[in-house]
Amino acid sequence: MSQPGLDKLKPQPERPMIKRIKFWEYAEIGYDTEKKAWFVQFFNDAGQSSAFHIVRNIFIESGNAIQYQWKDAEGRPLWHIRERFFPDDIEDIDIDVKTHDMTIRFREDPDIVEETVKEEFAYLLYAYHLANIEGRSENKAPMGFLELYDSNGVRLRRFNNRWIVVEGAKRRTVGEFPAIRIRIDRKDVGKIIVTNTVLIVQGHGKRNTRT
């Protein structure tokens, strides 16, 4: 017996879907709890849905993605959770018309980088780009940047185009538009971890290290 909603998936041409859909700026993987089926929804540059595919299973070959969520607008006690990805990261997308499975192939990954920042600094500033600049493709969502400063206000180092996560660190807003920032003093920073896509600033909260 086929799952509800899978009958809406019409046979596709042999060419990968990514070659046919030229009008999407980002896409999201989600699960429809009513139809009991996975789906991938594509959005254009205006944030409007441009394609929607219900599938049985989704196979994701490597790549990066981020979690996105929002509260249910109809007041139900739940959140909608999606996993979002962007076209510049994708090599191709296929749907098997016999099994109703979708395969998403990401482009070749760069070497995984993870660094714990060791520099001495007096404070850090971070903020979020409102548009894509400094080498980031227009087909990706803007990300954040973080800068380290000494006690004289001289910038020591800059990390650009990262998703920023702050865990248990005291911080405050500073600056005037357009140079608005969030500041964390060195005494309130326990550790800074940097990877290819994420920058994590940890405070001095109680640590429970699991092995």
Q: For the residues 150-179, what does the mean pLDDT come to?
A: 94
Q: For the residues 139-153, what does the mean pLDDT come to?
A: 87
End-to-end Cα separation, the chain, in angstroms? 44
Return mean pLDDT, the chain.
83
For residue 132, pLDDT beyond 70: no
For residue 195, pLDDT beyond 50: yes
Q: For the residues 103-117, what does the mean pLDDT come to?
A: 83
Based on DSSP, count helices (H) and strands (E) in the chain, helices before strands. 1, 16
Q: For the residues 66-79, what does the mean pLDDT come to?
A: 84
Q: How many CB atoms lie within 10 A of CB 96?
A: 14
Distances (CA, A) of 42 to 26, 28, 94: 6, 7, 14
pLDDT of residue 2: 39
pLDDT of residue 184: 97
Q: How far is Cα 99 from Cα 8, in angstroms, rounded to an integer?
A: 13
Question: Which class for 202: exposed (0-12), middle (13-18), buried (19 or more C-beta within 10 A)?
Answer: middle
Q: In this structure, are residues 30 and 82 in contact, taking their beta carbons and an 8 Å threshold? A: yes
Name the amino acid, one letter, at 74: E
